[in-house]
Structures are given as C-alpha cells and as structure tokens.
Structure 1
Amino acid sequence: MSSPTTEKAPQLTRVLRLPAIVLFGLTYMSPVAVFTTYGIVNDETGGHLPAAYVLALGVMLLTAHSYGRMVRSYPAAGSAYKYAQKSFGGHIGFLTGWTLMLDYLFMPMVSFLLAGIYLHAEFPGVPQAVWSVGALLLVLVFNIMGVKFLSKITAIVMGVTGLLLAFFVIVGGSKSEAGAGDAFSAFVPASDQWGLLAGGAAILALSFLGFDAVSTLAEEAHNPRKTVPRGIILTTAIGGGIFILVAWIGSLVRPDNNFANPDSAGAELMETVGGSALAGAFTAVYVLGCIGNAMVSQASVSRIIFSMGRDGLLPKRVFGRLHPKFGTPVGALIGVSAVALLSVVLTLDQAVVMINFGALAAFSMVNLSVIKHYLVGAGRDLGPRSLIVNGLLPGLGFATTVWLWTSLTGTTFVVGLLWMAAGLVILAITTRFFTRQPPELHMDAGEKDEAAVPPADGTPDAPETVGAR
C-alpha cells in the first residue's frame, strides 16, 4: 500500500549572516528616530531623556535575552507568535501574534506618514499623500526582490545615517553649554521623577523594536541558533548605545530643553549644532531612514503573516505562498501595503497610538515563554545556571515590561483591547468556538523534533540547509 504524498510546505532561503542581520535590526530601529520623540520625551521626563533611554535599554536587554533563548529552540520565522504557540498552545500563540501585528502593521504606516510629512514640507507643491504612496510602492518593490537585496539597501541607509550622527556627536560635543558639574545631570532624575521616567521609557521602548524584527529572520539566517541570538543582543546594545549618546549630546548642546515646538525639536537641535545646512541634511537623512525603517518593518510583518498563512490560520492560498522567482511572501507583502494605505487618511498621532500596546504585550509573552519552555514540563532544567538564565532574567524582563506597559495611556489600552477582541472573534470562528486547536505552525524537515526540548549548551546546532536530514 503506497503512502499518501504530502505537499512540501514553502520555505524561506538561508542567505543572511550576522553583519547583515545586525544592519537589518539597526535599520528597523532607525537610530535617527531619536530625534522624532526628542522634545516630547524630554518634556515627559523633565529633561532626563538620556536616563529614560538607559531605563528602556535595561528592560529591552532582558527581553532581548528571552528572544535569544527562544530562537535557540525554534529557529524559524514567526517571532513572538511561534514562541507563545509552542510554549502555551495554539490559542495563546494566535492571540500573541495577532496583538504583535497591531504594532507591526502600523509601523510601516508611521514611516510612510513621516516621509510624506517631511517631503511635503520641503516640496509643498506635491500633496503629502502622493509622497506617502510613492514611498509605499517603492518599499513594496524592494521587499518583493528579497532580503538579500534588502540587506544592501539597509547598509546604505545605515552608512548615511551613521555619518550624520557622527557629525552631530563630534560637533555637538564641542559646542556644549553645560558646565562640568552639570554634564551628567540628565542621567540623574530626582526621587519623585521615576514615574515620569517610566512613562518616557514606555514610549522609547518602541525605538528598540529592531531586535524583535531580527527574530523574524531566523528561517533566512545561516546557523540561526547562534547568529540570531547574537544579532538580537548586538542590535539592542548598539542601538541603545547610539540613542543614549545622541540624547546626552543633545542635553549638552541645549540643556534648557526650551524648544519652540517639541514635535520638531530634532530639526531645531540640528540647526543649533550646524546651522541650516545640517538641518537640511537631517531632513534628507530622516526621510531616507523612514524608507529604510518601512522596508524592514514591512519585511518583518510579512514573515509573521506568511507563517500564520502557511499554518492555515490565515488563507493559505493568499498568505502562505512564496514568489516562484524571488522566494518572498508576496501575498503578505501586498496585504501589509494595503493596510499602510491608511497613511493617506490617518494622522500621525492616530497611527502612533496603535503601536505601543502590541509591542509590550508581545514582549511580556516572550519572557513568560522562556520560563514555561525551559523550566516547566518535559526536558526542564532546574540547575542553578538554568534558574538564573531561564528563570530570573526572563522573570525580571516580564516584570519590567509589564511596568512599562501599565505606564501607557488609557487611549492606547482601549485601542489595544479592541484589537485583541477582534482577534478573539477570528480565533473563535477558526476553531469552531474553541472546540478544536488551531493548526500547529509547520516545522520543516530540517528542524528535528528534539528542537522542542531546550538544547543543552555546547550541543551542535541544527543543519543550516532547510530540509536536510
């Protein structure tokens, strides 16, 4: 009796190494975005923006550690969706992925909005919507061509951004108006300012989403059990260091933080350092950074949608297939671009409020997933080192993430809970009102069944070639 043939699930191609992965993550974080919320968070924290960045970096490093632990066991596309699914079951996994998509779906939209706003300011004869849609189409074409091509674009974006920031740090540092005793005052908040600091850090935490985006590239990375965890930590540490340094130099240049308009404080700060020429260069680099951020954020969410489509939780014929030539999830990319068209009707404030809820909720679930996966059930390791690495650190990551999460505004929670309710309805329909489990995320043949058990330190990594036995 012949065994039934099964169609091999589509797989992404492993083409990325550590430098490209880190550049991808840093481009997603868009270091120049430190100027986007410069004035707003300075007002929120009473002039202690550098201290807020230090707090946010500490929380994000704990969560980045948890992402790195989970990707060692599940080196495939899917991010927080997959980790929660494998640790807590299909229903929780779906809701985690759905909540995370609130963040990912609106991140490209914010980038297109910002690009349109700045370009319209420079060329007022062209409507803002035209600039936004033009940037959207350009990004869609680049993403369809694949991550190998995308990695070359991100290298250019980061190179130009790095030159601008280096010039700002060098020249800005030489123009410091702060006295020796006040040079580090922005890092030392008063005892009654910690609540304000947490509110500022909750906003700034979104600047660190690049490390989360790195985890979605696990199926396209060489030796993902090593390169992706390293890429996650390096992206978080390097990006956080840049944010802190730039915020500190800004506090030295303008210690009074008295900006005419907090929303445009970044441009005003640049003009203080280098005049109108630097302000113009800043605008050009900022728009380039918006396009780079849109490219990588669109690439990331398309991989999550592809995973859910391949899994059967979304229409497989539309979202679970790859382009025959480029090997990219075209259906998912087009779907994300369609959502981003809302950039022509929504304001920046309306788009930004959508992002906060999903990111921190997903981060909380990833921290819990490490504890559940490594310390509970079959294959658990309760040794001293494991209790620290897989218990204490993720526990601190969960607690601090929830702390920032509860510092968000009431409006954010209303929007986020409504989005979660919509996901719950979809899940109920998909599972016939929870009478059956959602389909398991497809595990390719190259990943051994033992991947569900935490790999012991020092054991060889899984084969790099997808489908190898």
Structure 2
Amino acid sequence: MSEMKKTLTLSQVVLFGLAYMTPIIVLGTFGVLAVVTQGAVAGAYLAALVAMLFTAHSYGRMAAAYPVAGSAYAYVRHAIDDRLGFLAGWAILLDYLFLPMVIWLIGAAYLNSAFPSIPTALWLLAFIGVTTMINVLGLKLASLINSAMMLIQMLVLVAFVGLSVHYILGDPTQPLFSLAPFLGTDNGSLPVLMAGAAVACYSFLGFDAVTTLTEETRDPQRTLPRAILLITLLGGLIFIVVSYCVQLAAPGFDFANPDAAAYTIARNIGGDLFVSIFLIGLVVGQFASGIAAQASGARLIYAMGRDDVLPRRWLGTLGRYGTPLGGLILSALVALLALTMDVLSAASFINFGAFLAFALVNLAVVFHYYLKEGRRGPGDTLRFLVCPAIGLGAIVWLLFSLDHRAIMLGSIWLLAGLGWLVWLTRGFRRPTPELHIDA
C-alpha cells in the first residue's frame, strides 16, 4: 500500500476537528444543561473546558510519542498494557456505537417541537433510516456538501448570538454583562456546576478525532499536539460565548421541553422566520454529524471484526457497495434504544465511555514519559506528571458527577468488555487481540 501524502497544515487540521465537534450542538443541548446547572450553562462549559484542556494536552503528548491511528486504544496499549488498551478501545466503541443515537435523538426532539403532530419516534426512525441508507451506498455526496453544512451551522450560531444580544439590549432591566450564566440561581454550587460540566463534555467529543489524520499531516509530532489544544480551546470558547448570550436572553431553567429549549428561545428572539432558519441549521448540523458518526463507528466495528475482536462473519466483511454493512446495521439497531431514552440520559451514557478513555490517556502520559523514559526534570515533571495528574483528577470527578443511571449502564458496558476480553484470551492464556485501525 502506498503511503498517504502529508499535505494537511495546522489550520486545516483545526478546521477538521471543529467540524467534527459540530459547534451547533451547544444549542441542541442548551435546555438540558440549563436544567442540570440551574441556569449556569456558561459556567458548566467553562468548567468542562478547563478539564478538557488538561486532557487535550495529554492527547497531544501521546500523539507526538505514537504518531499512529487508534487514539486512546493505541496510546494505552503501547504505554501501559495491552489488556488495558483493549478496555480503552472498548470504551471508545461505546462512544462510536452510541453517539449516532444521541445525535439523531436531539434532531428528532427539535423536529417534534416544530411539528408536534408527528411523534418524536417517527422523526428518529427517519433519521436512522435515511442516514443508514446513505452510509450503505457511500459518502461521496455527503463529502461534497460537508463544507456547506459547516458554513450553515456557523451562520446560524452567529445569527443566534446576534439576535440574543439584540434581545438583551431591548430589555432595560437585563444587563449585557452578568455572572448569572456562570453561577446560576444556586450561586455557583460546585456539585451542581460539575454535574453540568459532566454533561457539557458531550459537546467536546471529537476533539481527538484529528489523531486519525496522522499519516496525512505535515510534521505530525509538532502539528497534532498544537491542533488538539487549539481545537479544544476554540471549541470551548464558542460554547461559552454562545451559551452566555443565550442564557442572558433566556435566564433561568424553566422550559416546557428542555430537550428542545433552543427552539422556543429562537422564536422569542427572532420570530417565526428565524426559528425556521434555526431549525434548518440544527437539523442540517445533526444530519451531517450523524452521517460522520455512524460511518466512523461502523469503520471501527469493521476493523474489530476483521481482527477477530468482534465476530468476523457478521461484522468483519464489506457489503455490496464496499461499505461496512454489518457495522452500519448494528449502529442503526442500537439507535433504536433512543425510543426509550431522553437526551440527558443518552448523552451522559456516552460520556461515561469518553471519560474512561480520557482518564487512561492521562495515565498513559505518566507511564510513557515520567516512568518509562525517566523525564523528571522540573519542566518535564510539570508536563508529564502534574498536568496529566490534574487532567486525570478532573476527569474522574466529572465521571462520578454523571447521573447514577449513566454510571450504572457504563459500568455494565465495561464489565461486558472485560468478560469479552477474558473469553477472547481464554482466561488471559492467549495474547490480547490487537486492533489495527487504518488512518
């Protein structure tokens, strides 16, 4: 196989990462976060950003040490232990397998608010069916319009912020500068804020996706660490600014339907015309994100099937159109669980897998640089022990700030992965199967 051309620059990698994060998601989850934080959505995003920056630093360090695809799975396997690496891969699988479900659920909730006579379940089934069909046939058309979809998202976000500010200025009793969006009605209660931050981290998922571009990036050892930090910082600033303005325009957290609160807010600040534009932007963003998430998840499932980590017969072969049919069908079937879940529960469940992978990557930095390479000078101790330790502590705190149902379901998923590993290795008497993820 010929090597991929290293053509991507820092700015191109950053744009890819931001597009993968889907910035408009800050509006999609606004109502849920407002309820959890009691009106401190901007504060939750600020806390999440601080925690994620330390983890982004760790991802950057490991991307420099191991410039290969596979992200957390590869880093933990090489730096710590192959069995722990398998569990990191299992945690990643949770994200990839269930992320499309959350994306489609958010889109369905907003369409139901616009067209209440059509049940959310029908919108959800439509998202699943159409997206799966496109992914089965291939992604050429989706790739062509992806940039346009990103542009639509950013224009809607800018318009939403602009109309929010205009709405605030039109109310003489409402100041433009306030700490309320950061403190909420509970004056900044730390447990409440961290519970919100645990959910807000959902919006950051995908900041590490640029590690899959290693073989196509110029000087990846330097470019990827910088890109990961920039993506996290820029994404976090977008989330904070947007949520701050929207929270001022809609103070409090009393929404008839928190899952689709931004729809009501859009009508209040911009009228019927803007609410239609907002809905189009949100649905376009969710649709594009759903296509990418399902395609990525199916690719990981196919890779695991091809390497006999999952059943090869059903999941390790390609379909008629050269796409991973088994993984796509599995993803669609898993998404049907959304018929019995709300956005908060689904997003929290996804975050359990992400937090587990994030924690292991922070730990991998300590093992690789501080323990194995013995880099223990003052600067190195700060970079390779203190920073990842802070990142690990923050992620563990966020993990235990998730709601109890998410922790329970996530623990069941983790135990299932451990049981599967024991079976694959015949009680650890065989080598741990290695997953090859092509960039």
Report the TM range for the smaller structure's normalisation.
0.7 to 0.9
Please report how far the alpha carbon of residue 78 of structure 1 lies from its aligned counterpart in structure 2 after TM superposition: 1.6
* Identical amino acids, percent of aligned pairs: 40
Please report how far the alpha carbon of residue 371 of structure 1 lies from its aligned counterpart in structure 2 after TM superposition: 0.9
1:221-272 per-residue CA deviation (whole Å, 9 max, x = no partner) reads 5554344333322221121111111111113223355444433321121112
- 8 Å CA contact 1:357–1:405 kept in 2: the answer is yes
Q: Specify which of 406, 411, 414 is matched with residue 417 of structure 1.
A: 411
- 8 Å CA contact 2:217–2:223 kept in 1: the answer is yes
Q: Report the 3-state secondary structure (helix = DSSP H, G, I; strand = E; otherwise coil) of the residue aligned with 2:24.
A: helix
Q: How large is the Cα RMSD of the aligned pairs?
A: 3.3
Q: Specify which of 375, 391, 411 is matched with residue 385 of structure 2.
A: 391
User: TM-score, normalization: structure 1?
Assistant: 0.81
Aligned residue in 1 for 2:430: 436
Please report how far the alpha carbon of residue 364 of structure 1 lies from its aligned counterpart in structure 2 after TM superposition: 0.6
- 8 Å CA contact 1:211–1:232 kept in 2: the answer is yes
Aligned residue in 2 for 1:408: 402
Equivalents in 2 of 1:147, 1:233: separation in Å? 29
1:410-433 per-residue CA deviation (whole Å, 9 max, x = no partner) reads 111111111111111110110011
- 8 Å CA contact 1:24–1:151 kept in 2: the answer is no
- 8 Å CA contact 1:119–1:128 kept in 2: the answer is yes
1:177-234 per-residue CA deviation (whole Å, 9 max, x = no partner) reads 4655853343356776112111111110111002033334445655543443333222
- 8 Å CA contact 1:16–1:148 kept in 2: the answer is no
Aligned residue in 2 for 1:355: 350
Aligned residue in 1 for 2:198: 202
- 8 Å CA contact 1:71–1:225 kept in 2: the answer is yes
Residue 26 of structure 2 is aligned to residue 44 of structure 1:
no
The one-letter code of the counterpart of 1:359 is A
Please report how far the alpha carbon of residue 400 of structure 1 lies from its aligned counterpart in structure 2 after TM superposition: 0.6
- 8 Å CA contact 1:102–1:355 kept in 2: the answer is yes
- 8 Å CA contact 1:210–1:235 kept in 2: the answer is no
The one-letter code of the counterpart of 2:272 is S
Equivalents in 2 of 1:329, 1:390: separation in Å? 39
Please report how far the alpha carbon of residue 315 of structure 1 lies from its aligned counterpart in structure 2 after TM superposition: 4.0
Alignment of 1:58-207 (within 5 A): 58-122=50-114, 128-129=120-121, 131-140=123-132, 143=135, 152-176=144-168, 177=171, 179-180=174-175, 183-188=178-183, 193-207=189-203
User: Which deviates more, 87-96 or 251-260?
Assistant: 251-260
User: Which deviates more, 303-312 or 425-434?
Assistant: 303-312
- 8 Å CA contact 1:27–1:296 kept in 2: the answer is no
Please report how far the alpha carbon of residue 26 of structure 1 lies from its aligned counterpart in structure 2 after TM superposition: 2.5
The one-letter code of the counterpart of 1:169 is V
Equivalents in 1 of 2:259, 2:329: separation in Å? 31
Cα 1:336–1:442 change in 2 (3 A) is: same
The one-letter code of the counterpart of 1:96 is A
- 8 Å CA contact 2:199–2:347 kept in 1: the answer is no
Number of residue pairs matched?
435
Q: Report the 3-state secondary structure (helix = DSSP H, G, I; strand = E; otherwise coil) of the residue aligned with 2:310.
A: coil
Q: Report the 3-state secondary structure (helix = DSSP H, G, I; strand = E; otherwise coil) of the residue aligned with 2:208.
A: helix
Aligned residue in 1 for 2:275: 279
User: TM-score, normalization: structure 2?
Assistant: 0.86
Please report how far the alpha carbon of residue 71 of structure 1 lies from its aligned counterpart in structure 2 after TM superposition: 1.5
Unaligned 5+ runs, structure 2: none
Aligned residue in 2 for 1:4: none
The one-letter code of the counterpart of 2:233 is A
Aligned residue in 1 for 2:47: 55
- 8 Å CA contact 2:165–2:176 kept in 1: the answer is no
Q: Specify which of 331, 335, 353 is matched with residue 336 of structure 1.
A: 331
Residue 226 of structure 2 is aligned to residue 230 of structure 1:
yes
1:61-120 per-residue CA deviation (whole Å, 9 max, x = no partner) reads 111111111112223322212211112222111112112322221110122233334345
Equivalents in 1 of 2:376, 2:138: separation in Å? 42
Alignment of 1:312-323 (within 5 A): 312-316=308-312, 319=315
Equivalents in 2 of 1:99, 1:413: separation in Å? 13
Q: Report the 3-state secondary structure (helix = DSSP H, G, I; strand = E; otherwise coil) of the residue aligned with 1:80.
A: helix
Cα 1:147–1:398 change in 2 (3 A) is: farther
Equivalents in 2 of 1:131, 1:315: separation in Å? 31
Please report how far the alpha carbon of residue 325 of structure 1 lies from its aligned counterpart in structure 2 after TM superposition: 8.7
Please report how far the alpha carbon of residue 409 of structure 1 lies from its aligned counterpart in structure 2 after TM superposition: 1.5
The one-letter code of the counterpart of 1:211 is F
Equivalents in 1 of 2:217, 2:337: separation in Å? 32
- 8 Å CA contact 1:83–1:369 kept in 2: the answer is yes
The one-letter code of the counterpart of 2:304 is M
User: Which deviates more, 62-71 or 148-157?
Assistant: 148-157
Aligned residue in 2 for 1:458: none
The one-letter code of the counterpart of 1:94 is F
Cα 1:300–1:19 change in 2 (3 A) is: farther
Cα 1:23–1:137 change in 2 (3 A) is: farther
Please report how far the alpha carbon of residue 22 of structure 1 lies from its aligned counterpart in structure 2 after TM superposition: 3.3
Aligned residue in 1 for 2:361: 366
The one-letter code of the counterpart of 1:361 is L
Residue 283 of structure 2 is aligned to residue 300 of structure 1:
no
- 8 Å CA contact 2:35–2:254 kept in 1: the answer is no
The one-letter code of the counterpart of 1:414 is M
User: Which deviates more, 335-344 or 268-277?
Assistant: 335-344
Equivalents in 2 of 1:210, 1:440: separation in Å? 23
- 8 Å CA contact 1:20–1:151 kept in 2: the answer is no
1:299-336 per-residue CA deviation (whole Å, 9 max, x = no partner) reads 4334433443454423456655678997x656544543
Q: Report the 3-state secondary structure (helix = DSSP H, G, I; strand = E; otherwise coil) of the residue aligned with 1:433.
A: coil
Cα 1:154–1:103 change in 2 (3 A) is: same
1:29-53 per-residue CA deviation (whole Å, 9 max, x = no partner) reads 2222222332332233232221111
